[in-house]
Structure 1
Amino acid sequence: MGGILTQTNDTKCYILNTPRDLQPTSVRRSNFQGDTLTAGSVITEPQLFTGMHDMEKRHIDTWTKINYFVVEDMSLDLNFTLNIQQYNNWGYQTNGSFDGLVGALQRQEVDLGATGMLFKADRMMVMDYIGETYHFRATILFRQPSLASVTNIFLQPFSSGVWMCALIMFSIKVVALTVEMKLEWQCQKDGNCRKMRHLKPKKDPNDWGEVVMMVIGAVCQQGFYSPPSSLSARITFLVLWMASLFLFTSYAANVVALLQTPSHLVQSLSDLIKVPMEVGIQDVIYNRVYFRETTDSLAKELYHTKIEPYHERAYYNAVEGMQRVQKGLFAFQVEHTIGYKVISETFTVEEKCGLGNVELIRTPLLGIPIARDSPYKEILSQKLLHLREVGVLDRTFKQWVPQKPSCTNSHHSTSRQFVSIGLEELWSSFSLLWAGAIAALSLLFLENLIRTYSRKRKRFHKFMH
């Protein structure tokens, strides 16, 4: 059989020393005997890149790194050496040929890619894929607009039923106080009330506006210059004050909570297009290509309405974009790996809790590319499947990809950070104040105009007679 039988000294066991060419095919193909394979890797930020194994900067070219480790694990298992060639982009078609890594694979300059790559029909015409690795995610991150910026929070504390009941109660109080103060005034005027004879008769309460102002003063916890004197009216007034106190306390507490509550207005890409929020894009080449090639109608609408008008000013590096997100009313499309890292390091607990995200680029799993008709494709595909089944890919992903930051923090579990209230939150109250001031000045001008007209008319009639 071409083998060599050897008997050991201590036992009668025979060992068959088989040459490599007589070993089973599966055994021979699982050992590349130290051969060197040229692999291409894509580094998009070479000025920040410090090596594949630098955990301090794992957010730099994360998808390249974690896919590189998959290829590195295959090289260790299959006993081959990697000769890494660096490229600045994955490869895009121009005038019928590809640049970047895809172009190198097309020209057979490299054997495979040590990076993940999106599955695209034009690429599959010039190269193959070993298999799928990780799900690429690039989402739009933003802080949800404050509730005050999208709605009138001063109408939110109570339901419509509570508002209606309060209005009915105050209307009843106006009628009751009007009747009671009318009787009180009549009693004082006739001198029939012994306990109130020493009091000067009050103004005729037929002017119900005075009673309305009294009820409004009680509701706003401001009082009134002329409280009632009779026992029945005082009891009515006391009940009005107690009910107003409870309503006012509940209302004020709810307003304070709503001032610091983010809304949940933006839940989809269409919501983001509608709200008055600026949008920025991470300045990487695949984002520009995506908006140029996408067929998604919502993505196109977002691009034409909120990105294209700003030209290059709509593109930011990841850190600058996330800093603008932190300030609010700004949405930034970014790889969630670097986005989550910046959030974990710089955002407060309240800012983390108010974060929202919308998925923009919906892509399948990334794949590891290989030269077309490569003799290594089948064995590498089997090894990649094995690494996935035994959990190596999952372990690498959890080790290198930052997880979504939690909005809970042990340092802030017992106290919340102070949140400043700006003009945006109080705009509706200031609007009411200005509207009241304008209405008051308008009425004052109208009253003076009518009074002046009345005086002149009287003088004219007196002169005529």
Structure 2
Amino acid sequence: MKCGEKHEKDIDILVSQKLSNSVKGYSAVSVLLVKFNAKLTDLRQQESGAAPGRPQSAGDSDRTSTTMVTALVTTPTAVAVAITVATAVTATASDVATGYDSSRCLKLGVVEFPGFLRVRQTPHSGLEVSGTLTKVHTIIASALNTCVEYEVPKDGLFGSQLDNNGNWTGVIGQVSRKEVDMSGVPMVLDIKRRMATDSSVWLYMDERVLAYKQPVPEADLAGFLKPYTTMMWCMIILALLAVYAALWLTQLFEVQLLPHTPDSFQVEATAGQLVKRESGTAKNSVGRGRRGEDVVWTSCLWSLTAPLAQSSSWWPRGVSVRVVAGVWLLMALVFSSIYRSNLKAMLILPRVSLPFTNMEELLHTSIPCYVPQATVLHGLVLAAEPGSQLYRLRQQMIAHRNVRKARQDTLRGKHAAFSTRLAILSILHDTFAQTRSCPLYMASADVFGGTSYQLAFPKGSTLTHKLNKLLTRLQEAGILKHLYLQGIRHASGCLRSMSATNALSSTTLRPLELGDFYGVFSVYGGGMFLAGLTLLLELSIGSYRH
């Protein structure tokens, strides 16, 4: 084994041990790897006969970076792999720091961005900035051999153009006025923002989506009516009335055709008993008298008892009456069986419909929609052409700068949210970590397709070219995506539970509440009231006759 290879192997082993013992010190590990990289370069130059101080060529630099990454990706944990690749990239970025004034900290303009940065102003410790993007800031500061200083714009906005003179608000205003060295938060840079600032390479890809509180099964007063639609109930009621009329007419028809005995009465089989009725009354009182009252009562009785699966004290007589009664009995059996089956299925696996699944359906509702103020999306809504979807969204749009309030109102169902997919995933992650639930759903169809996030630099800034190479390597190595996914790891479970159709199945059991029985109790109470009223009418009519 050659001397250079032996030293290289010792260095690789030492680096792996350092990363396995501690994965928290990004800056320290970055500086350590830069020193190891320089030492490894000197050993290779000594082995090849070159002077240690000779500048390294581009090919040597690429081979050094490849060796470092190949040797260090064997670290045991996924986090160590991510940090190793990131610091190996910064080790080859020594030329990035060339010409940068490291005597002062790197000023970054930041605002609250769910999923990336959390910005809080506390009375004791001052400004507190946290989130997955702070690790990227640390890597950049390590490459530039400096520190990081955060600046929050007074309005707390990303930035919108005030007038045509180039005056901007928010972070874009800070960058355009060179109050900060760069933006510390990735943004969508449209044509107007690009005219005011320089942009970096793209860091993340995202899409704009609609989000709203996920509906859950709740107690429903009219839940016992849900197995059938309104049209189906109307058809059943019409069928019941038709059967009642058919039974009434067929019974009257049978009465007219029945042969009568020569004596003064005929015998009728009713519930197994013999009842004497005067033949004259049965023949002459059509719809009136004792026989007419029996026809009305028996028709109503059979029409109602069959669908309710109740016994009847009247048996149909005659071929025509039996045909009508038999057909209705079969239809009622089908109706009642399907009703009970559907009601049982709704209780076992309740399904709820989503209020909307795309922008067009949202516009047909009265649900307000939140749009982050002073963003590119907000500008698109304000500049939309009349008649377009975004133009019609103005009537339902709510725009303000309080991100935390908008998040809470969205979770409570006060309004929908028109934002980016990454921001919604961050809300799902935080909510699941606290409550172990996924209260939001995202519309299945995105609104405007994909978009990219970039960092903004002042016009003519030397940092643009210097950091683009570093950011490109971080993006291509997967470090940026790894860090972000690590910060929203709980959102993956919520994405799996979301349904792609227009309905959601509740996977959690919900105990029945008293409100679930209010509808049935109301029907029972209404029936008892009608029965009592009928009893009072019968008593009144009977006493009047006597």
TM-score normalised by the chain length of structure 2: 0.56
Instruction: Work out the CA distance in 1 between the residues paired with 2:271 and 2:48.
Output: 128
Q: Which residue of 2 aligns with 1:131?
A: 201
Instruction: Work out the CA distance in 2 between the residues paired with 1:244 and 1:384.
Output: 72
Instruction: Work out the CA distance in 1 between the residues paired with 2:159 and 2:507.
Output: 52
Instruction: Work out the CA distance in 2 between the residues paired with 1:120 and 1:139.
Output: 21
Q: CA-to-partner distance for each residue in 1:76-95, whole Å, 9 max, x for gaps?
A: 4x453243232233333335
Identify if the C-alpha distance between structure 1 residues 366 and 219 changes in structure 2 by more than 3 Å, giving closer, same or farther: farther
Q: Which of 313, 331, 336 in structure 1 is aligned with 2:416? A: 331
Q: Which of 262, 266, 274 in structure 2 is aligned with 1:190? A: 266
Alignment check: 8 A CA contact 1:40 1:113 kept: yes
Alignment check: 8 A CA contact 1:105 1:127 kept: yes
Q: Which residue of 2 aligns with 1:199?
A: 275
Instruction: Work out the CA distance in 1 between the residues paired with 2:276 and 2:452.
Output: 89
Q: Which residue of 1 aligns with 2:116?
A: none
Identify if the C-alpha distance between structure 1 residues 419 and 287 changes in structure 2 by more than 3 Å, giving closer, same or farther: farther
What does 1:445-460 correspond to in 2, within 5 Å? none
Instruction: Work out the CA distance in 2 between the residues paired with 1:251 and 1:353.
Output: 32
Q: Which amino acid aligns with 2:472?
A: L
The answer on 1:295 being equivalent to 2:384 is: yes
Identify if the C-alpha distance between structure 1 residues 276 and 111 changes in structure 2 by more than 3 Å, giving closer, same or farther: closer
Alignment check: 8 A CA contact 2:252 2:295 kept: no
The answer on 1:85 being equivalent to 2:155 is: no
Instruction: Work out the CA distance in 1 between the residues paired with 2:193 and 2:268.
Output: 103
The answer on 1:418 being equivalent to 2:528 is: no
The answer on 1:104 being equivalent to 2:192 is: no
The answer on 1:377 being equivalent to 2:464 is: yes
Alignment check: 8 A CA contact 1:157 1:255 kept: no
In the TM superposition, residue 292 of structure 1 has moved relative to its aligned partner by 6.6
Q: Which residue of 1 aligns with 2:57?
A: 24
Alignment check: 8 A CA contact 2:107 2:149 kept: yes
Instruction: Work out the CA distance in 2 between the residues paired with 1:120 and 1:272.
Output: 26
Q: CA-to-partner distance for each residue in 1:100-159, whole Å, 9 max, x for gaps?
A: 43333334443322221221222212321111112355633234598999x999476379
Alignment check: 8 A CA contact 1:280 1:307 kept: yes
Q: CA-to-partner distance for each residue in 1:17-41, whole Å, 9 max, x for gaps?
A: 2536x33368586444695362413
Identify if the C-alpha distance between structure 1 residues 117 and 312 changes in structure 2 by more than 3 Å, giving closer, same or farther: closer
Q: Which residue of 2 aligns with 1:261?
A: 351
Instruction: Work out the CA distance in 1 between the residues paired with 2:362 and 2:340.
Output: 31
Secondary structure in structure 1 of the residue aligned to 2:186: coil
- Listed as ranges, the gaps of 5+ residues in structure 2 are 1-41, 62-91, 113-118, 283-289, 499-504, 538-546
Q: Which residue of 1 aligns with 2:109?
A: 41
What does 1:203-222 correspond to in 2, within 5 Å? 203-204=290-291, 209-221=296-308
Instruction: Work out the CA distance in 1 between the residues paired with 2:402 and 2:303.
Output: 51
Alignment check: 8 A CA contact 2:371 2:377 kept: no
Instruction: Work out the CA distance in 2 between the residues paired with 1:421 and 1:194.
Output: 43
In the TM superposition, residue 182 of structure 1 has moved relative to its aligned partner by 6.5
Secondary structure in structure 1 of the residue aligned to 2:49: strand
Q: Which residue of 2 aligns with 1:320?
A: 408
Q: Which residue of 2 aligns with 1:281?
A: 370
Q: Which amino acid aligns with 1:322?
A: T
Identity of aligned residues (%): 14
Identify if the C-alpha distance between structure 1 residues 50 and 313 changes in structure 2 by more than 3 Å, giving closer, same or farther: closer
In the TM superposition, residue 333 of structure 1 has moved relative to its aligned partner by 4.5
Secondary structure in structure 2 of the residue aligned to 1:81: coil
Q: Which amino acid aligns with 1:92?
A: S
- Listed as ranges, the gaps of 5+ residues in structure 1 are 1-7, 54-64, 445-465
Alignment check: 8 A CA contact 1:140 1:357 kept: no
Q: Which amino acid aligns with 2:511?
A: F
Q: Which amino acid aligns with 2:146?
A: T
Secondary structure in structure 2 of the residue aligned to 1:17: coil
Q: Which residue of 2 aligns with 1:15?
A: 49
